[in-house]
Amino acid sequence: MSPELIRNVALPAGVRAVALLAFLGACNHTEPFQPSPREPLGPYERADVRRLTFNTSEDSDPFVIGDSVIVFTRIEPNRSDGDRCLAYLPVEGGTLLQTLCPHGMVADTMRDAWLFPAVSPGGRLAYVSQESRITSFAPGVRRLTVGTTRAPDSVTFALNLPVRLFGQEPNSVRRLAWDGATRLRFVAGDEGFPLVNNVRDTTFSALGLAVVEVESGVVSEEPGGEGIYVYAPRADSGVWAVDAEDPAQLFALGAGIRTVAGRFSGAILDIADVGGIPVGALALGATLEWLDPGSGRLMGRLVAPGTVLRLSAAGGRRVVADVEGPLGRDLWLITLP
Amino acid sequence: MNRCCAVFVLLLGAPGVGLMGQTEGNIGGRVTDGATGEPVVGAIIEIDDRGARGLTDSTGVFLIRSVRPGRHRIGISAIGYRSVSRDSVLVESGRTVRLDVSLTRVAVPVRGVVVEAEPDPLLDPLVTQTVQRIRVEELRELPVSTLSEVVAIQGGVVGGSFRGGRVGQDVLIVDGLGLKNQFDAASGRFGLRIPAVAIQEASVITNAFSARYGRALSGVVTAVTKEGGDRLTGHMAVETDRPFPDGSDVGLDRLVALAGGPLFGSVRFLAAMDAQARIDDDPVNAPPPADSLDPRFERPWLLPNAAGERYDLLGKLTIPLGARQTLRVLGVVSESRRELFDPVLKYTTLPGNGEEVGGRLAMLHLERTSVPRSDHTLVIDARLGFFESEAARAPVVRHPRRRVGAFSFSGLEFAGMTIAKSQDTVRARDPIPGFTVPTFADATPWGVNAFFMTSSPRGELRWNRFREVRGRVDVLLGRGRVTDVRVGGEYARQWVDTFTRLAGFRAVDDGAPPATAASYGPSHAAGYVEWQQRASDLTVSAGLRVDAFGSGVADAGGASGKLAASPRLAVSTALGSATVVASVGRFVQPPDLQYLVSAAFDDTLRTGRFRRGNPSLGFETSTQYELQARVRPSADIGFRAGVYVRRLEGLIASVPVGFDPDSAVFANGDFGTVKGVEIALEREYRDGFGLRATYVLQQAQATATDARDLFRRLRISPTGDTIRPSETAFPLDFDRRHALSVTARARVPSRGGAVFAGTEAGAVAQWSSGLPFSLRDATGDSLIGLPNSQRLPSQFTVNVMLRRSIDIGATAVGVYLDVRNLTNRRNVVAVRRSSGQPDPTDAEIAGLVADAFEADPTPIPYESPRYRAWADADGDGLIAGMDELGPMYERAARDFTQPIFAYGIPRLLRFGVEIAF
């Protein structure tokens, strides 16, 4: 543009200055770089028997929330205090959504544990919390706790153990499962850590199935639940159950009545209700078996990648399995044929 | 008339002025009868219509001392003569404006004539100091925005160091009152900034500075603030770098405003504001990283979490109290805050550490001048000032929200500051609320548990406050035109409060060092007498200053007050066509008060050592000898050359205590010698062009000051004996050998129609050789060679200012472009002591990788947020072993060790629009 033209179209200098300021104000500044958020990875593979966790430490006791997310107990591999934390993982696998540890993510001088998580339809998180010194083998404090999935330590209910059940005082509970919004089932038992021939006996000795009302705190035995050491809630609010007296025999327990529902080919470590079908994890042979819920007859069998210690139904014909392999305990997603 | 005669006549005719003051000037001259040429005796000289300020003597000569710099209206009247006046007579500090006046009889219908002549400041033998002055026009036309930038372009000044001394050996004189953050001067943290728009004149004096001023070893910076005039005037400017492309836009926004004029009656006011904000407050010219996964790879220009803002406000009232007295009330408030980018926190979304520094000044200045007499002058100045500097550093709770451009208009919200300000060391035993336990960041591109954290592992909470009430009285007694005597004194009461807590995320019971806090009240007093006498073409200036200070530390244990006398002598004369000045002076300053606090400072100098304070520290001293010659080879060209030697004694150093290699106590243990040559060539600004070039050749050597205390003058043995090792000389930290600075101003002549007509240009080019540094061996424990035996590369910058103004009636509208580091040269300002280069060596990287892998060899599984597919070489969902984890650690190490702050500023552009009325 020539100077002459500039002069011809020029506005008064004051107006030009104001216009210039307005123009400058309309510009935006350059922004600094920002570290890009890490996008979570999808499933590692798409197989019907799919490994979900790959670490060399322990991932255990999965519980599937709404057929989409698994909450489970995880030992953070590089924590000096050996705390057991709660972790959340997409049920299809991929990157962990969140890990929450007792007293934060930094190791301290206590060995704390959040175990056996179970989430109610309303989002309440039940789990067993344990505290002990790093140098101590047995937990010093153990309680059945209810918090929230976002903040497990925002405790709304706590049941200190031991409690009086089945004529004894069991000091441990396992296999938590909600029955509705306020009723929490669990298997009560003993985990006394006695010294037997200079070896700590860490065996959990189940006494039976019990219930606690988290609103009132009332603890009671599940009618017909004595001796049951594994169970799986059914859609009709009854449970599939196995009694320690006959660890291959499957019962249907409802309204205090036990009904024989079938028989697995061996002792069962855990069972799950997969779309109404009782699926059992055999103690020997790294095998899952499932029975016809009507006839009790064996419907199928599947070889698992290791010994399956826990099962949690994951919607459809899927089940999340806590599998013990040569590198520790990992979670697998297994789709029944 | 030849040049020699001109000087002689000037000396005879010019007054014997007291030029030792740095913040006032003089007006002198001769009043004669316009018809006969005879001197007019008893003519009255008025300044700014404030009544008689001076009288002519029997030879018609007058001299008015101690006139504030700035433009004044001078009136001359005598009985039987027609009065004359002269507007806008510019007075500069330390100089004399000469007015020769021819008066005409009342009966003659012709006005008198005033001839204004400025005595040659270069050849004036009454000027015994090396004064580098920057006037208000230069402040406007040169690419400088702050007083510190003004100081930085003067010869012999390197980043806060004057003539080879360390940072903190200077003092700032604001309108005649000396200000210094005596607590923390060594860090250069002053707290107070005088808005540049409010400065009438600034100068840097590096030798023979007046005995009026103490607390400085190496230099005095003066700033004389403007005053409101007879009519309302104002100036406003908006600056920004928004229109410029990436790399030149560092998120700068600046607003400058000034207004002044009559308030009521004869009271005048001045108000100024300078507000600046930048999204990246510490822009660097570091090269982009080579790794494409690094987020800086695509956008290497700005650093996140590095925003800064500063606000400077100044208000001033000038209240005439009768014809002989003036009261000035000055208030300055400065606040600056900045987030501190930390490479450790590069990959966290949480804010990192921040720093806030505030300064406040309130000053009363009462000036009283005597009834004008031709044979003597008495001027009394009384000043009372309150100065406060407060600094805080702590984790920032949340990112400040930017509201307008880079401005947030809000302070940083710090964690734990309530505890710090209350100095509550008991509450501070617990983890400080708001501090986050640092864990390794998992959002890095590299995945590994190394180098990058979620919060600062230092967990630093620091706060200190320095307050001072200082009063001083200065008396100027002028006898005739040949003798000036100044006497005066000052007293200051100071208050120091400190708080420091490290690892604030952890309780003291869990191993964190306990908080330390201190409160004490040092005091400082000084008195001086200064005498200047002229005899023929010889001028002798002599002064004696006595300083005293007491630490005020309660448990001082023998810390009695310290006393130091500082004699100063300067002799100047005309030799042929040159003026020669020789000076010798001793200068003292009390130590930084932070070094007095017993056991309050851990790692004060950030070298991993624990240093104990010492309340018995004494003055640091400097003795300077200088010889200077000044000549004017042509009417426009001036040349100045000088040599100097400075002996620095009793400097503060840390001295080991016993066998503990990590424990030391502060002592007056360092000494050094600075030798230098300064050459200045100036082409006066005339006909639209001016240029000034200074070159400094300097050698600054020490026998101590090394942070690791490898060499020092004194060692204290475990038995308490003093050991004097053999003397070894090595460069001081600010031993800049060569420094060349060229300042130029030009103006395109105003010819109608030319596009660039009236455009003003200012440029500052600086080249300097590199500062010294120490090279360490691979272990980091031992030096290679002597301390400071290596040199950084030389540095070069060119800054340019272009301005175009258009007058519209009484209003001037202008635009300007300010360019810093025009050539975008990548100046290296720091290197790694292990490699001598900004970047680490491959061996260093390998060492970091090995250490990091050893600290955490845990495999990274697929489900971990740290899993990176590119590192899983065998694709088994588990990154394990050195083969797979090693590359992750290496890329992380290279990212972490990027030498971001090893480089100076990039090319910075700012565009401004201004309106003046």
Contact B74, B50 (CB under 8 A): no
Residue that has been written with the tokens 């420094």 in this structure: B739
State the Cα–Cα distance between residues B43 and B77, nearest whole angstrom: 6
Per residue in B514-534, pLDDT (tens digit) is 888 889 899 999 999 999 888
- pLDDT of the residue at B600: 44
Distances, alpha carbon B711 to alpha carbons B120, B186, B611, B654, in Å: 48, 21, 17, 11
- pLDDT of the residue at B871: 95
Per residue in B54-79, pLDDT (tens digit) is 878 878 888 887 787 777 888 888 87
- pLDDT of the residue at A18: 66
Q: Is the pLDDT of residue B203 over 90?
A: no
Structure-block tokens of residue B50: 């404030």
Per residue in B771-791, pLDDT (tens digit) is 888 888 777 667 787 778 889
SS3 B850: helix
Contact B626, B208 (CB under 8 A): yes
Residue B366, beta-bridge partner list = B327, B382
DSSP 3-state percent helix, strand, coil across chain A (nearest 5): 5, 50, 45
Segment B630-646 shows an average pLDDT of 89
Q: What element of type H or E holds B329?
A: strand B325-340
- pLDDT of the residue at B751: 66
Structure-block tokens of residue B347: 């990959």
What is the pLDDT of chain A when averaged over all its residues? 87
Contact A268, A249 (CB under 8 A): no
Contact A52 B863 (CB under 8 A): yes
Residue type at B497 in one-letter notation: D
The arrangement of strands across the sheet holding A172-179 comes to: A172-179, A183-190, A205-213, A219-226
State the Cα–Cα distance between residues A219 and B797, nearest whole angstrom: 80
B443–chain A nearest CA distance, Å? 6
A337–chain B nearest CA distance, Å? 25
- pLDDT of the residue at B210: 81
DSSP for A41-60, please give it: P--S---SEEE----SS-EE
Per residue in B349-399, pLDDT (tens digit) is 888 899 999 999 999 999 988 877 767 788 899 999 999 999 999 999 988
SS3 B885: helix
Contact B815 A20 (CB under 8 A): yes
* Rg, chain A, Cα only: 27
Per residue in A132-166, pLDDT (tens digit) is 887 776 777 889 999 999 999 889 999 998 889 99
How many A/B residue pairs have CB atoms within 8 Å?
122
Q: B298 contacts in A (CB within 8 Å)? A: 33
Per residue in B97-122, pLDDT (tens digit) is 788 888 887 765 555 566 555 556 66
Q: B503 contacts in A (CB within 8 Å)? A: none
In this complex, which of B238, B298, B862 lies closest to A41 when CB atoms are compared? Answer: B862
A45–chain B nearest CA distance, Å? 10
Q: A96 contacts in B (CB within 8 Å)? A: 863-865
In this complex, which of A13, A29, A94 lies closest to B242 when CB atoms are compared? Answer: A29
Segment B898-916 shows an average pLDDT of 92
In this complex, which of A35, A55, A106 lies closest to B295 when CB atoms are compared? Answer: A35
Contact B136, B260 (CB under 8 A): no
Contact B295 A36 (CB under 8 A): yes
- pLDDT of the residue at B662: 61
- pLDDT of the residue at B15: 37
Instruction: Enumerate chain A positions whose Cβ falls within 8 A of a Cβ in B.
Output: 3, 12-14, 16-17, 20-21, 24-25, 27-38, 40-41, 44, 51-56, 77-78, 89, 93-96, 104-106
Q: What is the DSSP letter of B770?
A: P
Q: Is the pLDDT of residue B417 over 90?
A: yes
Q: What element of type H or E holds A260?
A: strand A257-263
Closest CA to B525 of B558, B492, B573: B492
Structure-block tokens of residue B202: 């600034």
Residue type at B515 in one-letter notation: A
Closest CA to A220 of A297, A146, A164: A164
Q: CA angle at residue B178 from B177 to B181, to 5 degrees?
A: 130
Contact B864 A36 (CB under 8 A): no
Report residue B222 CA to chain centroid gap.
10
CB atoms near residue B230 (< 10 Å): 12
Q: B856 contacts in A (CB within 8 Å)? A: 78
In this complex, which of A28, A56, A96 lies closest to B242 when CB atoms are compared? Answer: A28
- pLDDT of the residue at B722: 60
Q: Which residues contact B438 (CB under 8 A, 6 or more apart)?
A: B453, B454, B455, B456, B457, B459, B505
As for the ipTM of the complex, it is: 0.89
Q: Which residues of A99-108 are buried (b: 16+ CB within 10 A; e: fewer)?
A: bbbbeeebbb
- pLDDT of the residue at B64: 82
Residue of B nearest to A16 (CA): B813
Contact B864 A96 (CB under 8 A): yes
State the Cα–Cα distance between residues A275 and A232, nearest whole angstrom: 12
Contact B58, B40 (CB under 8 A): no
Segment B820-836 shows an average pLDDT of 91
Q: A29 contacts in B (CB within 8 Å)? A: 241-242, 249, 251, 253, 279, 405-406
- pLDDT of the residue at B330: 97
CA atoms within 13 Å, Cβ hemisphere of B343: 15
How deeply is A311 buried, as exposed, middle or buried, from its count of CB atoms within 10 A (0-12, 13-18, 19+)?
Answer: buried
Q: Which residues contact A255 (CB under 8 A, 6 or more apart)?
A: A223, A238
- pLDDT of the residue at B337: 94
Q: Is the pLDDT of residue B217 over 80?
A: yes
Q: What percent of chain B has pLDDT over 90?
A: 43
- pLDDT of the residue at B704: 55
Cα distance between the two ends of chain A: 78
Q: Is the pLDDT of residue B543 over 80?
A: yes
Contact B652, B668 (CB under 8 A): yes
Instruction: Determine contact: B755 vs chain A, CB below 8 A.
Output: yes
- pLDDT of the residue at B644: 93
Closest CA to B10 of B546, B681, B537, B611: B537
Pairing of strands B663-686, B610-612: parallel
Q: Which residues contact B707 (CB under 8 A, 6 or more apart)?
A: B605, B607, B609, B654
Closest CA to B198 of B327, B316, B71: B316
Work out the pLDDT band at B507, boundaries 50, 70, 90.
very high
Beta strand segments in B128-284, E: 131-135, 157-158, 161-162, 170-174, 177-179, 199-205, 219-225, 233-240, 253-264, 267-278
Contact A106 B437 (CB under 8 A): yes
A167–chain B nearest CA distance, Å? 44
Work out the pLDDT band at A35, boundaries 50, 70, 90.
confident
State the Cα–Cα distance between residues B390 and B160, nearest whole angstrom: 20
Residue A252, beta-bridge partner list = A240, A259
Residue of B nearest to A6 (CA): B755
- pLDDT of the residue at B125: 63
- pLDDT of the residue at B709: 46
B238, B805, B863, B866: which to substitute to probe chain A, counting the most A Cβ within 10 Å? B863
CB atoms near residue A141 (< 10 Å): 11
Per residue in B697-747, pLDDT (tens digit) is 999 887 654 444 444 445 556 666 665 555 567 888 788 889 999 999 998
- pLDDT of the residue at B42: 80
B858–chain A nearest CA distance, Å? 6
Contact B11, B537 (CB under 8 A): yes
Least confident of A121-135, A195-209, B489-503, B538-552: A195-209
Closest CA to B767 of B744, B791, B792, B740: B740
CB atoms near residue B671 (< 10 Å): 22
Least confident of A224-228, B161-165, B406-410, B451-455: B161-165
